[in-house]
Amino acid sequence: MNKAKISEIFQSIQGEGQYLGVKQVFIRFFECNMYCAWCDTPRSTGDEEGHFEEYTSDELWRKISGLWSNCHSISFTGGEPLIQKDFIKAFLPRLKAAWVTSYLETNGVFYQELAELIDDIDIIAMDLKLPSSTKCRPFWEEHKEFLKVARKKEVFTKAVISCDTTREDVLESVELVAGIDPEITYILQPNYFDHENGVVRKCLEYQKDCSNRLKNVRIIPQMHKFLKLR
């Protein structure tokens, strides 16, 4: 029986991106293929200290059924949810049948996996992993292919801006999005841990650059951290 490795399940408000403030049930999947320098959920990335529980589809359904009253959507987050694509693909039709909105938070790399379940996903929050920010290798080609698939549904992009983020990386990501659809929302997300180090000013400068190519560029911080929420 297919089981999912899940770090935690909880109800809160969405603290990032275009749906800031809506009430959601969060399903945090364990493991990630990336180790971003600014990761705020390191215990979900898959190291030996991480904690998770295994859920069957029926067990997860029972767990979230008691949480989603008056919620906007169910957020599949992580870690990186698409590592466990087979489980999510099998689970999504249950949400669709119950008229519950699905919301995928992803690092925007696994485009083949996304293609297998795009028909049942409602909203996609796609990270653009800028190498100067993450200290990981570039993922431009993967991001490009991912966004081509994701735009079949509602999608917005967001890039974490840290003190180390370069204008070159931001502009390359903007060209990537603009080349697919300049109307896709692009969010500059100031790294919470760099707020005292001038990162908001950088976001304001980059917003001007981005707006030359994209129609909807916003600066949105991680509000759940300011509110001391999960």
CA distance 37 to 46: 15
Reply yes or no on whether the pLDDT at 49 is more than 70.
no
Q: What are the residues whose beta carbons fall under 8 Å from the beta carbon of 173, sequence distance 6 or more?
A: 128, 130, 140, 143, 157, 159, 186
Burial class (CB in 10 A: 0-12, 13-18, 19+), 177: buried
What's the whole-number average pLDDT of the chain? 94
Q: Considering the entire predicted model, what is its pTM? A: 0.95
* CATH number of the structural domain 4-226: 3.20.20.70
Note the pLDDT tens digit of each residue in 78-91: 999 999 999 999 99
Note the pLDDT tens digit of each residue in 134-192: 999 999 999 999 999 999 999 999 999 999 999 999 999 999 999 999 999 999 999 98
CA distance 161 to 142: 20
Q: How many CB atoms lie within 10 A of CB 2?
A: 11
Domain segments of the chain as ranges = 4-226
